């Protein structure tokens, strides 16, 4: 990038910085207060080597009205899961309230995202995109329609407290019934922009096309055990959808097969993907629309990058 770090744009719309994680990895990153689609419209073609992102796939849940309802703890998409053990639960978005019109909005958002990523990504670039079992098809179909190859899914094995409840207001009458299964996994769609020629040709030209192995003996795997972000990590970054470093570092590491290039998170929230990229020693770019979360990311990125997850190393991630 050849710039002096850190440099601060006076409007706070773009901050370019360099952070050194506790691991000793140093990496440059850029963060923008912007709309992801508008930023992508201005980005250069063939300039990004991987995307790792956790988008607002409910579309609704990050609108000012829904965020206000979440803060007030009443109504809307955000619901507090029932507490059976006296512990306070964090609000989760409830996707069963989406209407057909909302679902169409989701499809349209991902169609616009996929179309723009197709131009901005280099051939062979991978996209890892968080979703959930109820709406994943609304995310996957537009990516395939835009020309991406579906390369499988990463299964994040996580207990979210979604589902598993008895029928509302009839708990006693139907004590042995759950309306939906208790969710124990989160799918991350895995897509690739088609390679130019063979994978080996694409790796030579663009440094992309495959996934980074854990070691000579061990490939990256598509099932990852992962607790929700909690404790110290959540204190650092109080974003309602914070993803844990332990998980993100494994995914981000795999996303650049030769450890070279730029990782983009167009919906960065608190910047957890950017922090994971720093911990891996990768360059990255993050976009966030909400000024409150953008400011949170400025503060959190170096702290999350320096954070050492307590979980054992998996998939070759730096702790």
CB of 271 to ligand SAM, least distance (A): 7
CA-CA distance, 318 to 281, in Å (whole number)? 10
Burial class (CB in 10 A: 0-12, 13-18, 19+), 117: buried
Closest residue to ligand SAM using C-beta atoms:
269
Query: Which residues does residue 92 pair with via DSSP β-bridges, in sequence order?
Result: 79
CB of 236 to ligand SAM, least distance (A): 11
Q: Applying CB under 6 A, which residues contact ligand SAM?
A: 35-36, 54-56, 62, 239, 241-243, 267, 269-270, 272, 287-290, 293
Please identify, using beta-carbon distances, which residue of 155 and 258 lies nearer to ligand SAM. Answer: 155
The residues, ordered by sequence, that sit 6+ positions from 204 with a Cβ below 8 Å of its Cβ are: none
| Phi and psi based region of residue 2 (left: phi greater than 0; alpha: psi -120 to 50; beta: remaining) | left
Please identify, using beta-carbon distances, which residue of 40 and 214 lies nearer to ligand SAM. Answer: 40
CB of 192 to ligand SAM, least distance (A): 21
In the sheet with 186-192, reading across from the earlier edge strand, the strands are 7-8, 14-20, 26-33, 283-288, 262-265, 48-53, 121-130, 186-192, 149-157, 223-225
CB of 250 to ligand SAM, least distance (A): 14
Please identify, using beta-carbon distances, which residue of 41 and 260 lies nearer to ligand SAM. Answer: 41
Rounded to the nearest 10 degrees, the angle between the axes of helix 272-280 and helix 291-306 is 30
CB of 198 to ligand SAM, least distance (A): 34
Please identify, using beta-carbon distances, which residue of 146 and 289 lies nearer to ligand SAM. Answer: 289
CA-CA distance, 124 to 185, in Å (whole number)? 27
Please identify, using beta-carbon distances, which residue of 56 and 257 lies nearer to ligand SAM. Answer: 56
Dihedral sign for Cα 95, 37, 128, 230, please. negative
Query: Which residues does residue 192 pair with via DSSP β-bridges, in sequence order?
Result: 126, 149
CB of 69 to ligand SAM, least distance (A): 15
Q: Phi then psi for 111, rounded to 5 degrees? A: -65, -45
CB of 201 to ligand SAM, least distance (A): 34
Distances (CA, A) of 4 to 97, 262, 267: 48, 18, 25
Please identify, using beta-carbon distances, which residue of 190 and 195 lies nearer to ligand SAM. Answer: 190
Please identify, using beta-carbon distances, which residue of 192 and 243 lies nearer to ligand SAM. Answer: 243
CB of 220 to ligand SAM, least distance (A): 20
Q: Give the containing element (helix H, strand E) for 107.
A: helix 100-120
Asked if residue 250 lies in contact with residue 280, where contact means CB atoms within 8 angstroms, the answer is: no
Please identify, using beta-carbon distances, which residue of 125 and 272 lies nearer to ligand SAM. Answer: 272
First vs last C-alpha separation in the chain: 26
């Amino acid at each position: 990038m050849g710039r002096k770090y850190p440099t601060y744009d006076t409007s706070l719309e773009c901050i370019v910085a360099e952070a050194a994680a506790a691991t000793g990895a140093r990496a440059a990153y850029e963060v923008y207060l912007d709309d992801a689609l508008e930023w992508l419209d201005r980005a250069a073609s063939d300039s990004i080597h991987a995307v790792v992102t956790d988008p607002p796939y409910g579309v609704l849940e990050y609108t000012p009205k829904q965020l206000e309802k979440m803060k007030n703890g009443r109504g809307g998409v955000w619901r507090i899961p029932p507490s059976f053990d006296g512990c306070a639960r964090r609000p989760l978005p409830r996707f069963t309230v989406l209407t057909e019109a909302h679902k169409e909005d989701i499809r349209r958002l991902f169609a616009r995202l996929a179309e723009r990523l197709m131009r901005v990504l280099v051939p062979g670039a991978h996209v890892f995109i968080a979703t959930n079992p109820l709406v994943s098809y609304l995310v996957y179909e537009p990516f395939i329609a835009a020309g991406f190859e579906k390369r499988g899914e990463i299964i994040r094995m996580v207990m979210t407290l979604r589902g598993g409840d008895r029928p509302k207001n009839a708990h006693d009458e139907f004590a042995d019934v759950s309306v939906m299964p208790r969710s124990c996994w989160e799918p991350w769609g895995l897509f690739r922009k088609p390679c130019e020629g063979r994978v080996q040709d694409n790796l030579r030209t663009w440094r992309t096309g495959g996934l980074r192995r854990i070691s000579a003996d061990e490939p990256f795997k598509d099932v990852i055990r992962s607790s929700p972000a909690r404790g110290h990590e959540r204190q650092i970054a109080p974003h309602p959808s914070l993803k844990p470093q332990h998980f993100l570092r494994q995914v981000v590491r795999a996303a650049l097969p030769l450890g070279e290039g730029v990782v983009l998170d167009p919906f960065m929230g608190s910047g957890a993907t950017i922090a994971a990229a720093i911990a891996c020693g990768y360059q990255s770019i993050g976009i966030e629309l909400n000024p409150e979360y953008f400011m949170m990311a400025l503060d959190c990125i170096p702290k999350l990058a320096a954070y050492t997850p307590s979980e054992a190393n998996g998939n070759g991630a730096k702790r």
